[in-house]
Amino acid sequence: MRIDIVTLFPGIFAGPLQESILGRARTKGLVEIGVINLRDSAEGRHRVTDDYPFGGGGGMVLKPEPLFACVEALRRPGSRVILLDPQGRRFSQDVARELAQVEHLILLCGRYEGVDERVREHLADDEISIGDYVLTGGELPALVVTDAVVRLLPGALGDEEAPGKDSFGAGLLEGPHYTRPEEFRGWRVPEALLSGDHARIARWRRAQALWRTWRRRPDLLETADLSPEEQKLIEEFKHGKKPEA
Ligand code: 9D3
């Protein structure tokens, strides 16, 4: 896979793209990531990328010419051009899985008041928002999308954490995790986890995950596909029963 990120602030990306799983995925050759300074696609001595909005009002708007020139130099068959924009469709694990199938992503980071509408209409294939809060630009959203997509590429994660196993992969929150010591400041690790009884441990974990999801994110239970045993546990929670501590 290849991901090209088009931005006025390429310096934002250096750290995050080098570290941890993203950095390792790149050195393993699972993904190539390019960071392209939009200013390099702007014409004229001053390489201007933004301008005042027609009709007046505050702020600045990204001009169409540099964005079209930049994308037209990058795009090829199999590319998907994605504008990171507060008005886009909401990013989710499902969208990450969808994007992980695309051969080439071109992520356009907006800034200022936004981008010229013709970019949205005639250049972007897709528009994505990462949630309902106001950021200063599309750079952090581009990193969020990149991180969520790259970790799904085969080989990006160790055998330890296959992506299907984690909470949103399974459609539920995860239950609690513990490590040594068995007792810390008088707080003990739940007995079930120390029992060595693998079936019991699996049951305990499942019940904890369901309980936590039921308490914190009941919306996730609407779409999770639960086994009959899991549905029975939920019914018991509804009648006031709690899982084994
Ligand atoms: C001052 C202009 N804004 C009215 C509140 C509109 C606006 C334009 C551009 C607000 C924020 C931004 C910069 N944000 C993004 O480009 C962005 C974003 C976000 O702010 N939140 C969640 N997802 C995204 S994706 C891109």
- Looking at residue 164, its pLDDT comes to 53
- Looking at residue 112, its pLDDT comes to 76
130 lines ligand 1 (CB under 6 A): yes
Q: CA-CA distances (angstroms) from residue 148 to 36, 62, 159, 223, 237? A: 20, 27, 17, 21, 32
- Looking at residue 158, its pLDDT comes to 85
Whether 113 is catalytic:
yes
Whether 86 is catalytic:
yes
pLDDT digits (tens, 9 = 90+) for 196-225: 999 999 999 999 999 999 999 999 999 999
Of the candidates 106, 81, 92, 97, the residue with the CA atom closest to the CA atom of residue 153: 97
Structure-token pair, residue 1 = 């896979």
Of the candidates 1, 32, 33, 165, the residue with the CA atom closest to the CA atom of residue 99: 1
- Looking at residue 79, its pLDDT comes to 98
CB contact at 8 A, 51 and 60 = yes
- Looking at residue 198, its pLDDT comes to 98
Whether 64 is catalytic:
no
What's the CA-to-centroid distance between 47 and ligand 1, angstroms? 24
Consecutive H or E run containing 173: none
90 lines ligand 1 (CB under 6 A): no
- Looking at residue 230, its pLDDT comes to 96
Residue owning the nearest CA to atom 10 of ligand 1? 134
Residue owning the nearest CA to atom 14 of ligand 1? 137
Of 67, 82, 85, the residue with max ligand 1 atoms within 8 A of its CB, to mutate for a pocket test, comes to 85
CB contact at 8 A, 114 and 136 = no
86 lines ligand 1 (CB under 6 A): yes
What's the CA-to-centroid distance between 62 and ligand 1, angstroms? 13
- Looking at residue 160, its pLDDT comes to 65
Structure-token pair, residue 39 = 């200013």
pLDDT in tens, the chain (245 residues): 999 999 999 999 999 999 999 999 999 999 999 999 999 999 999 999 999 999 999 999 999 999 999 999 999 999 999 999 999 999 999 999 999 999 999 999 998 789 999 999 999 999 999 999 999 999 999 999 999 999 999 999 987 666 655 455 578 999 999 999 999 999 999 999 999 999 999 999 999 999 999 999 999 999 999 999 999 999 999 999 999 98
- Looking at residue 169, its pLDDT comes to 54
